[in-house]
């Protein structure tokens, strides 16, 4: 299991939902992981 997969699997989804409600977004991946995901999306 990758670190990203593990983080998503173990995320406190109630807290994530609360962040989305409060701020309109929630951060799960780190900036480095986000950049990597963006390159995968572009491929």
> In this predicted model, what pLDDT tens digit does every residue of 17-37 receive, in sequence order?
888 888 888 777 777 877 888
8/15 Cα distance (integer angstroms): 12
Predicted confidence at residue 6, as pLDDT, reads 84
CB 26 within 8 A of CB 16: yes
11/34 Cα distance (integer angstroms): 16
| Structural domains of the chain, count | 1
Predicted confidence at residue 27, as pLDDT, reads 72
- Exposed / middle / buried, residue 8 (Cβ in 10 Å: 0-12, 13-18, 19+): middle
Predicted confidence at residue 19, as pLDDT, reads 85
Domain that holds residue 37: 3-42
Query: What's the chain's average pLDDT?
Result: 81
Q: 8 or 21, which is more confident? A: 21
Predicted confidence at residue 43, as pLDDT, reads 60
């Amino acid at each position: 299991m990758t670190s990203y997969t593990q983080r998503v699997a173990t995320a406190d989804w109630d807290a994530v939902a609360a962040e989305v409600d409060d701020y309109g977004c929630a951060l799960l991946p780190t900036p480095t992981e986000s950049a990597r995901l963006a390159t995968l999306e572009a491929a």
